[in-house]
Structure 1
Amino acid sequence: MARPYWRILFIFPILQTVLSDSSEIPTLITFKSSLKSTEELTNWDPNVAPCNLDKENWNGIICGKDGSVFGLRLENMGLTGTIDMDMLSGLPGIRTLSFANNSFGGAIPDVSKIRLLRGIYLSNNNFSGAIRDDMFEGMSSMRRVELQNNKFTGLIPGSLTGLSILVDLQMQDNEFGGEIPDFEQKGLKANFANNRLLGRIPPGLENQDPSSFAGNNVCGRPVTTPCKISKNNKHTRTKLIISIIAILAIIFIVLLVFRTRKAPENDYKNHQTTKLNRNNPYKTSTKELHMQSDDEENRKWSQNRGNVEFVRSDRERFELQDLLRASADVLGGGSFGSSYKAVLLGGTAVVVKRFREMNNVRKEEFYVHMTRLGRFSHTNLLPLVAFHYKKDEKLLITDFAENGSLASHLHVKRKANEPGLDWPTRLKIIKGVTQGLAYLYNELPHLSLPHGHLKSSNVLLDNAFNPLLADYALSPLVNKHHGQEFMVAYKSPEFTYQDRTTSKTDVWCLGILILEILTGKFPANYLKQGKGGNSDLETWVNSVVREEWTGEVFDKDMKGTKNSEGEMLKLLKIGMCCCEWNVDRRWDLTVAVEKIGELRERGEEEWSSCTSDGDAYSSKGLTDDDFSFSMTGINSKP
């Protein structure tokens, strides 16, 4: 009998694809040996390729489309030891390295040994010492450098100014000294807060947020501290003083002549302006408003401790005493603290939320993070307006959402024949939620949990039932133990069984939220303290669909579903692909956003099995076998 060579030829490309990166295995295994506390890297198996095309087989590996190792994301793993850059330089395809939120110490790794790096993330470790000035020399591909919250000393490396496409530079919360070098890169977002820097802020950084220089001894724009005249050249200084006196004398004479001619008219106008402002303290002149937005809002934290700090310039200003005197209604209590609706004297309603589980965060770090969140602008994010810091309590002040939370509409006890949210409204809400979540992913690429606490009670609704995400991006601030007890992201399968979170953890939360919106059932495991384990809602949906695969799964109070079953089933499938237990098989957020964006209020039934890239989500008939196969992976524990 002839040997089935065609089978060998068919299988060989598959094996070649899976094992295409086998030459990188010894390098990575040797690199791992230089690290300590590597419990999170137990699946670095020398008999398994790190990548299967662009899907990682090993924890912390970022794979390129060709199956090569594109980068390492070894974050939040408690790692110590030495980062062997000589070994990593042997990986030709590596472009990004992240060792953020670990316990590494000593000198900075020599990143110059990998010239083609695009991003280096070393934040929240214990690195110390000076960084040599030419460390980043010639690294023309570098776009992001994050070194915040370490113990670096010495001068800021001048070679950073030569990175022409640098867009993100985070140097805050270290011990850098000396003057800040001039950065001329367009579109650069830089942060130098809480160091020991001094001198004039260079011209190239005048467009940065003033909070980026807080906690230093610097002067000039954009901060409010003026720079003093240098005393090094007395002759030049004397000439400058004489010139200024002469100019002032001329201006004084001109103004005196002008005032003599126009005094009655000007006095009348000044009197009227003063009278208007006294009668209405919430009205300000154009000049006063300009001064507030440029100076008062952005003053250093140390100049206004214990008061309300505004992070937006388009909201009515008020003091802490105004909040205390305002009429207030308790909106409810949550895992972080109580929320109140306060109506200010001018009639503006705001929500004040008290946080007691942030005692470990430093005030400078809190200030910088809140200021960053205050710059966010998206139609599906609840805007942060202001905050108040005390050691044992923090207040976050936001806009008031008129229609309350999504949870209150899904789970409220209704009267007989009282309808719940209809299908078009629920679809509109989930589309807005995914858009808001995508914005957070884009703005906070350094966080593994851009939201971290996505659930129906943190989806608020405005007067048109547009969704507004609340309590987002708080995981870096909340006390670790409390966060792991109560935050939704820590109910995920990957944290329950592997004590880790990934960039897909918020996607899991999105999947559970989709199931909750469609079924009207509350995910009971959210009420359990500690690790979440299997979701009761997930299990119920799985059992109903697999055994019956009928519309029984959908909320009976959901109206407006006529001729919409096909689109509802599509969303149900999207939800299940998002809360897939196996992280590798779980959809990326980009795929979920794309597929949810394609949904309509009415349409034909289309289906396929879950795939990570979403390409298999094509038009074909839905069968029981199809559905059962896709559901099988959901409850296969990682």
Structure 2
Amino acid sequence: MSAVRFLLLLLCLSLSPPGLQSITEAEALMAFKNSLSNSESLDTWKPETDHCKWEGVFCDKGKSEIRRLHLTKMNLSGKIDVKSLIEIKHLISLSLSNNSFEGPLPPFNLLKDLKALYLSSNKFSGEIPGDYFMGTTLRRIWLSDNEFSGNVPESLGKLVGLSAVHLERNKFTGRIPEISQPSLTEFDVSGNELEGEIPVSMERFGVGSFKDNSGVCGKFVGTKCADTRKKGGNVKVTIGIMVGIVVVMASFVVLSAVMKSKDDENEEFNAINKEPTEDVVEVRVQGSSRSNRSSSGGGAGGGSTAGGSSRKSTDASHKKGGEQGSRKGSQQGKNAGMGDLTVINNEKGVFGLADLMKASAEVLGNGALGSAYKAVMSNGVSVVVKRIRDMNQLGKDEFDAEIRKIGKFRHKNILTPLAYHYRKEEKLVVSEYVPKGSLLYILHGDRGLSHAELNWPTRLKIIKGIASGMKYLYAELSDYDLPHGNLKASNIFLSSNYEPLLADYGFFKMVAPTQAAHGMFAYRAPESVHTLQVSSKGDIYCLGIVILELLTGKFPSQYLNAGKGGTNVIQWVRSAIEDKKESEFLDPDIASSTNSVKAMVELLRLGSSCTETDPSKRPTMEDVTNKIEEMQA
């Protein structure tokens, strides 16, 4: 009898179509790899090795079952073999973000147990069928920064337990379907070509989730549905409107709408040859002079301000300004119905919102967190005013407490804010203007500055200053999961003697998580891209990028969401370390210091260790800063 059963089993197997014969998960991954046309970054995928140790493959602890497949920023392209992924039975998260895939959206809806799908920053295009997501168990969907067109799939509104949908910066048209499940906490369709009124049930996501859609209208967005003409505006005209307080605040909104239509990351890349800051506004404030500050670096800006510490303060105006500006919500502000500037650091003098608004202003740029303007006050003091959107994580009193804490910081490598203006819709943060510019601008820009000026001792000084500033922040903001959160070259300014000044730190508790994921660089660490979970390891990752950038002289592609331009300094340096050719990858302008090559290579390796994909393999901030402090030029 057993022989008969055995023969019947053989017969069934022989008649089964090849596609129905199961394969191992390792074989499924190899089939997926073979479907790609540019898979050099998956060289660790070798059949004779443990597939759970392959690049981008994450298994359950103690098991060989694949749970997550995260292949971001690997320059992958080609046709995606979804059928091979079906054989990975326990796959719950798939990320192919920041690659070069193109064409229609593959049938990922065949992966019935998939909970998270991340496809941002590719070149996928075409329409997505309206019923595409029916029958799936997806909870988190990121399709931003592609070229999808047609209607937003209505089946998104049918998904049970849906928590996040990101469709921003595509070419979707038509009306916004009702996607309002109670479980949904993140929704963004900004930067498309949508039209019509926003469903009332979706207004809870805020205006920012629907901005830069010329046809969207209704009371919620302040545009009559009878008039859906495309908003535009001349930047110069808008700046000219800044003559009165109310008009100025309106101009901030218009400028944001105009400038945000550009790709933020490409804006940052292009801004290298413009002004040195990304999200900074420079404003000239009328009012009292600043008090002199030691150029030894004990103050917020290390003495590198326009006007310089050599300017003498006017005692009378200083006293008058102090009486008016030190009060939160002065009478002058009350009369305007908007409140006043709250001064949190009076080392540069005291001024009010009216002083700021009377100053001559110019746009510096528009970044992920907001718009930046330069203002020069009548006393010659130059400041940067940053208008930050969606900084609504805290109430007014909590926000005041947090920003005042930062206003007390005093360290030669920390740029301490001077004042802030609170509005529910937006916040203005005023800081000192550093005329020499950002590290991004000086290292990669074109103002006739020779790279030879950034010799090895100077670059090591910059790295040591950054490390010193980070150590200080980690001591002062030890209760923060992410003390800095936005460390990158565009937020590091250099004084006249090349002392680095860190800016844009401490916003972690103030910025809403959704906006933080778009605007704060630490959220681009591999573990944050997929889960939005952040920790101090994200700051380590950011510090590693800056170190590699300074040593190689390359513009990191990591700064660009779309992945267009720059060099993947992480992979570039790793290949150098693997081939033991680190010295060949150093910037030629410093590699000529042959006596210091050993120290450069040691620092290059340290920077690389900070960018490990697995955050547990990265060193701690204490370890990194201590090692940097010990290095000699």
The TM-score with structure 2 as length reference comes to 0.48
Structure possessing the higher relative contact order (Cα contacts under 8 Å, 6 or more residues apart): 2
Q: Specify the structure having the higher radius of gyration (Cα).
A: 1
The TM-score with structure 1 as length reference comes to 0.48
